[in-house]
Structure formats: C-alpha cells, structure tokens
Structure 1
Amino acid sequence: MICGGGKLPPSIRDEFCKLAGGPRARIVVIPTATSNADKPDHLATLLADWKLSNVESVQLLHTRSRETANDPAFVQPLLQATGVWLTGGDQVFLTDAYLGTAVQEQLKAILARGGVVAGTSAGAAVMSGVMIAGGLNKADVSVGFDFIKGAVIDQHFLKRNRMERLIGVLSMHPNLVGLGIDEETALVVDVREHHLSVLGSSYVVACVPDSQRKSVRLQFLKSGDTTAMADLMQQSPVEKATVDLKVDEPAGLTVGSL
C-alpha cells in the first residue's frame, strides 16, 4: 500500500489493517524516516495512536545503525509481522539505515508470504527500485527497496505539482511507469498479480512513456478504480493526456480526447 502523504484518511488506515489480517493483524511501525524517531516522546505518541486500531499487536522498530539492522534480535518482530507501516519524513533516512540489510530482506519476506508493507510520503518513495530521493523540479535519484517492479513512485503529486519532476525521471528511465500519488490517497499493489487499485480522496496519475520515447501518456485513477501494470503499459487506441518526454526542457502538457 503506497500512500501519497498528507493527512491520512481513516479509511486508508482501516484498509491497511484489514489487509494485514484485521483483528489478528500483527503490525510493525517503522518511524525511521522522521528525525523525531529519536525522540522517546514522539515514539510514545505514535505507538499510542496505532494502538487505537483493532489489531492483535503493534510494535515500533527503529534504528539508524546498519549493524543493528542486521542483528537477528532486532529484526525478530518482522518475522511474525503481517503488516508493516513506514512513516513519512526523509526517504534517505530509510535507505541509509535499511537498504541491503536484514530489515529489507524481512520486508520482502512479508510480501512474499502474503502480508502487506505500506508507507506514506517518504515511506512511499522507497517502494520502487529507482527512488526519487529529493529535488524540486529536477529529481535526485537513488536506490530504493524495489518492492514494486517496473515503476517509480512520486508522492504529494498534485498537491506539490511534481509532474515535471517525475517526467524528468522517466526521461532517464523510459522503461518504467511513473506512479504519481496525491495526498490523502493510496495505491494498493498486489505484488504477485501486479494488480492496482486506488482509494482515498484524490488521484493516482500513471505516467507511461510511449514506445518511441518521445512522450508520456497520462492516466488518472480515482478511488475505486482498478487496473494492472500490463494494461497501463499497453498503447491505448483512445488518446489520453500526453506530456513531451524531454530531458533538458520543461514538460509541456497536451490534452487529447479523454
């Protein structure tokens, strides 16, 4: 579950808990993306908020030490987890601590056994292998956790007008689909079937480079919409909104028949 940031609607948290097992869900919350994760008062408040959910258990997992992230005792809660939530903040804090460690391995194991890994804002950015690490109009690109294949994620997408940033990444990686997720909105991805569904109050914008690598087709998905990665990649006979795919010039939007 990939959330675009902003205020989290109760329906999204409820759906996350449901996907994790409902009353039997064992949730691990990883707050490492925020600098406040090093403040005990913040962690206590965060844990209290999550314990209001109707689930079996909630635990926090946080370190900034890669050595600790490889400690079998530290990752033990992940072995029993049915759902993991990555908070917002700075996605680089997450990759600095966990990329290539036992924590990342166990997060992938949770997905492999049918659990759910969710993240909002920074926790969303790390979901793809090509990760937008920052930048305003031009993205700083790094390596993420690679939970979702064939895509690159951007968040706060419409609220912060990040179309140009994502299109710039696709100009360098035209084999990927750009998934721009707006605030108060979540994209649920079935990592086995590559099926996508949307919930929340705004939109997910799928940005698909054409076979000639000259433009990007846009598809807007609202709450209740479903699709598949394979369908997004197909060239539609109905003209969609398109954006010129150019590295050195700002993206220009051309809207066709919708």
Structure 2
Amino acid sequence: MRIASLILTAFAVITSAQPILNGTNGTYIGPENGHLVIVGGNLKSDSIWERIISLAGGPDAPIVVIPTAGGEPTYSANFSSAESLRRLGAKNVTVLHTYNPTVADTDEFIAPLLEAKGIFFGGGRQWRLVDAYAGTKTEKAFQAVLDRGGVISGSSAGASIQASFLARGDTADNQVIIGDHTVGFGYLKNAAVDQHVLVRNRQFDLFNVTRAYPEILGVGIDEDTALIVHQNEAEVFGSTYVLIYDGKFWSREGSELKNPPAEKFYFLKSGDKYDLGTRQVIVTNSTGGGDDY
C-alpha cells in the first residue's frame, strides 16, 4: 500500500507540473464552428476590423468587447476597440468587464453574451482574463459564441488567450514566456501564441515553450497581422508575417539548399494558409516561388 501511495503521489507531482491544455473538441485544432481572428497587437488596419465584423455576421451582429486584460479600474462603452468597430459599421457593440470571477459567474453578467455573434479581447496582460473568467459562466458563454458559428477575436493579450497554452502569462513580468499562468481558453488547441513578435525581437522566445513542450505548436504573430482560423485551416491576413514553430522548415523558393539551425521557424505572409492538423503549409500556385531574384 505504501509503494502504491508513493507512486500515486509522484504521478500527481509530475502531472501537476504540466499545463492543462483547454479545448474539448478532438476533431480539429481550431473551432469546428465559427472562426478565430488572432491579431499580433497594434491593430490598425481597417481590413482586419472589417473581417471581424463580417465573420460575426455583418453590421447588425451583436459583438461584445472584453477590455479586462488592460488592467484599468473601469471601462466605458467608448473603449477604443468598441469605437473602432462602430466606426466601421458595427451597430450593436457592448463593452463587458469585471475582474471579479464571482460576478463573471452570474446570469446577469453574461446576458450580453447569450446573443453575441462576436467577441473581441483587448490587449494588456493575458493572465487578467484567466483570473476573471476561467471556470465561470462567462468562459462557457465565450465558447458558446463559437459553437453557434460566431467569431472570437483579440489582439496582443487577446491573441495569446485564445491558445490552449498561455504564453507570457506571468503576473510579475511579461518577459517570462512560461509563467505562473500557463492555461489559456483553448480555442486553438495544443498551441501557444506569441504577439508583437518581429517589432519586439521576440522571434526566438517561443523556443522556450517548444523545448519544454515539444508537442505544442508555436505561433508567433507580428503587429497589425492576423491569423484567421476555422477548423484546421489557418490563413494569414494583414500587413506583415506569422511565424510557425512546428519543428520543420519551409520556404516558398524551396528548402533543399537551405541550411537552417536545429531549432527552426519560418515565415508566412498574407494569403498563405497552413493546415493545423497535418502541420504543413497549404501550397497553392500563389504560395510557391517564382523566378524573381
């Protein structure tokens, strides 16, 4: 009995050290219904905002903006992300916020989410979203938006929270990429999302995650650029690049003569597509290389 008890204790210690990866749908890496719009921060392009509105169902679709990651004491209906959506034609935008998980677990608080067709998570510190909403009726209501075919979107912290592994979730310092919060909301399963990647020279940081958890797909998204996900298809949309950390290397001009290092990543540009299930670039005529030098 003592040996069995020691084995169980050791197993509990080992498993408790691993991040629990949210997401219950085993068929797809992304949402079976609906879309994700994962933005790498500093969202300026009207085209990305317009894509969010379109995927939500158009100008009349109810969209809920969650500014909680920002850390301000209160937020008004005129929060900047809500104003951007309204400026581009969204007619039914609600700002919803609390830091109190007890409040987030009430029917009264989640009422605006029950009919929502879109959600936008603002930037800041992603652990604040976990502390406020994880395990509450609000988190379930977020998921329900996807389940009925809506869109979940977010920028910066609002990008990282969408993955199952929460990168930069440390309460003390956002430079710690594996911090004291490692579980995101899991709309993109078995993955970690980093943001502001090229602007802040973060392109090597996700190796800390993939070394510790080799099964996790690393996705780095630069500013004003989105990865749009439905089921297993991910498309780059925006002004710069998405970086993929899947243990392989890919180049649109071919990889045979390349000499990448042991730890690899590669770039995808706007219009490129990636299969999250097979972890391969979806090669089309527009993806392949040309004769330009």
The answer to whether the 8 A contact 2:79-2:95 is kept is no
Q: How many residues align?
A: 228
Report the Cα offset of residue 207 of structure 1.
0.4
3-state secondary structure, aligned to 1:59: strand
- Higher RCO (C-alpha 8 Å, min separation 6): 2
Q: 1:226 offset after TM fit, Å?
A: 1.2
Change (3 A) 1:48 1:218: closer
Aligned match for 2:175, one of 136, 141, 144? 136
1:101 shift after superposition: 1.0
After superposition, the C-alpha distances for 1:89-119 in whole angstroms (9 at most, x for unaligned) are 1111111101111111111111111100001
Between Structure 1 and Structure 2, the one with more strand by share is 1
Matched residue, 2:251 = none
Give 3-state SS (helix, strand or coil) of 1:36's partner: coil
Deviation, 1:233, is 5.3
Once residues 225 and 105 of structure 2 are traced to their aligned partners in structure 1, the CA distance between those partners, rounded to angstroms, is 33
C-alpha displacement of 1:44 = 2.5
Report the counterpart of residue 83 of structure 1 in structure 2.
Answer: 118
The C-alpha deviation readout for 1:136-194, integer Å capped at 9, x for no partner, is 2754252111111121110011111112321001111100110000001000011xx21
Counterpart Cα distance in 1 of 2:270 and 2:164: 25
| Counterpart Cα distance in 2 of 1:71 and 1:164 | 41
Would the alpha carbon gap of residues 10 and 169 (structure 1) be closer, same or farther in structure 2, given more than 3 Å must change?
A: same
Distance in structure 2 (CA, Å) of the matches to 1:164 and 1:11: 29
Counterpart-to-counterpart distance in 1, 2:196 and 2:265: 17
| Match status 1:154 vs 2:179 | no
Whether 2:215 is the aligned partner of 1:175: answer yes
Q: How far apart in 1 are the matches of 2:145 and 2:227?
A: 18
> Residues 39 and 110 from structure 1, CA distance in 2 versus in 1: closer, same or farther, beyond 3 angstroms?
closer
Corresponding residue for residue 34 of structure 1: 70
Please name the residue that 2:266 is paired with.
219
Give the Cα separation in 2 of the matches to 1:37 and 1:221: 38
Given that residues 49 and 84 in structure 2 are in contact (C-alpha distance below 8 angstroms), is that contact kept between their aligned partners in structure 1? Answer: no
**Contact persistence 1:175–1:209 (CA under 8 A):** no
Do 1:139 and 1:166's aligned partners in 2 also have CA atoms closer than 8 Å?
no
* 1:120 shift after superposition: 0.2
Alignment TM-score, normalising by the size of structure 1: 0.82
CA RMSD of aligned residues (A): 2.1
CA contact (8 A) 1:4 1:184 kept: yes
Map 1:1-258; keep pairs closer than 5 Å: 1-36=37-72, 38-40=74-76, 43-46=77-80, 47-132=82-167, 133-134=169-170, 135-136=174-175, 139-140=178-179, 142-190=182-230, 193-209=231-247, 215-232=262-279
Unaligned runs of 5+ in 1: 235-258
Q: Is the 8 A contact 1:137 1:162 kept in 2?
A: no
Q: Highest CA radius of gyration, 1 or 2? A: 2
Query: Partner amino acid for 1:17?
Result: I
Residue type at the aligned position of 1:123 = G
Q: In structure 2, what is the equivalent of residue 247 of structure 1?
A: none
Find the residue that maps to 2:189 and give its secondary structure: coil
Distance 1:93 1:51 in 2: 25
Moved more, 127-136 or 17-26: 127-136
* Equivalent residue letter for 2:232: H
| Cα distance in 2 for residues equivalent to 1:216 and 1:76 | 46
